[in-house]
Amino acid sequence: MEIIKLQNPNEAVIKKTVTKNREKENKLKNKKRTTITYFSSHTEISNDASFLKQLRLALNLNRTEASNILGMSVSTIKRYETGISEITTDKLDYFLKCYCVSRIEYMSFKAGKEVSFSKEKLTPKVKVIENNLLRRSYKKIITEEVRAITHLRTIKGLNQQELTTKCGWSRTAISHIENGRIELTEEKLKHILKALEVTLKKFKQYLDSSFDRTFIEKKCIKKILDMDSSKLKSIETILENF
């Protein structure tokens, strides 16, 4: 006689529950592993940030002095030293190069070994303004074209802000051009003339004729205003005879 074993209906439910619990446990384990890896990476970045700060202090530099050495702003250095900005391998190499510290010396420093650093080797970064062709406030260049544009703007009854708005530029653009801080390129000149409703041909004619007279008049008036009374009377006599 064959004996048939009946399966407990609750047994399948129990097995299913156990399987689900095991899957949850595995997921939690994997999540913990990922979290540990993340914190490990984060700690490594924080360590570099901390050691860069310690390195700066070992060189007897405050952040202002370091900014001159690194060519960075004080706030940028602070972001690196506090771990807000990521310190990549290239960025770390840049710091070490500017601080005149080799990779071996840095690793020894991180390991807690005694390393001597010299502040005298450090060289401040020099800003080369001459390489910047557009921003040249260090040497204002006011050309005849710039003077003509200023005069045309005045004739049209526009102030600098109004012309800037018509050109669709930033607030101080026309001011910088008229004061010689920004180069008046051909492209900028055409754009301004369009806003002033003056053709390039008329502008060139204006340069060759009326503008020269206006410029001379201004120079003469300035000269007259600087004269004393006796010289001014002499000029008056000369002018009356013309």
In CATH, which superfamily holds the domain spanning 12-121?
Answer: lambda repressor-like DNA-binding domains (1.10.260.40)
Q: Identify the band that residue 134 occupies on the pLDDT scale cut at 50, 70 and 90.
A: very low
Backbone CA torsion sign across 125, 106, 46, 31: positive
Asked if 171 contacts 164 with a C-beta cutoff of 8 angstroms, the reply is yes
CATH 2.40.128.110 assigned to domain 144-240? The reply is no
Structural domain spans, the chain: 12-121, 144-240
- 144-240: same fold as 12-121? yes
Say which DSSP state 181 is in: S
Judged on CB neighbours under 10 Å (0-12, 13-18, 19+), 223 is exposed
Q: Determine the Cα–Cα distance for residues 62 and 68; give it in Å rounded to an integer.
A: 10
Instruction: Please state the separation of Cα 9 from the chain's center in Å.
Output: 72
Classify 117 as helix, strand or coil.
Answer: coil
Each residue's pLDDT tens digit, 170-203: 878 898 898 888 888 889 999 999 999 999 888 8
Q: Determine the Cα–Cα distance for residues 102 and 219; give it in Å rounded to an integer.
A: 62
What's the pLDDT score for residue 126? Answer: 56
Each residue's pLDDT tens digit, 212-222: 566 677 777 77
Q: Determine the Cα–Cα distance for residues 202 and 213; give it in Å rounded to an integer.
A: 16
Backbone CA torsion sign across 173, 179, 182, 183: positive
Q: Does 71 have pLDDT greater than 70? A: yes
Each residue's pLDDT tens digit, 44-60: 445 788 888 888 998 88
Cβ neighbour number for residue 106 with a 10 Å cutoff: 20
Asked if 167 contacts 195 with a C-beta cutoff of 8 angstroms, the reply is yes
